[in-house]
Amino acid sequence: MKSLDIAIAGAGPGGLAAALFLSRAGHRVRLVERFDRPQPVGSGLMLQPTGLAALQALGLYPAMRQLGAPIDRLVGTDAKSGRTVLEVGYGPLGARPLYLGAKVEQSVRRPFSGP
């Protein structure tokens, strides 16, 4: 396959994963991000099972699991009525940890150094 020059806009989880997949496939990748350097943005990050599967394929899942906390269920309620508006359980997907969500807090201070 011919090596391509590929530009990716955004160094979020999807952009970084795409850049790594494409680079490992032999393409030249330029990653463009509006921030000069990584920094906390005041929020956490939750990776769904499909994102965790991508991390597994990249060989990054074990290291990311050490930085996060497993999530086996999400519940959202209406603030006024208390009525459940969202309920998602990961249990039916299987017992393997890969099928759990992983919450990675923005407060993680140490840089990630994957393979």
Q: Is the pLDDT of residue 100 over 60?
A: no
pTM value > 0.75:
no
Tell me how crowded residue 81 is: count the other CB atoms within 10 A of its CB: 8
pLDDT tens string 3-58? 999 999 998 888 999 999 999 999 999 999 988 877 776 666 777 778 888 989 99
- Of 18, 64, 62, 83, which is closest to residue 10 (Cα–Cα)? 18
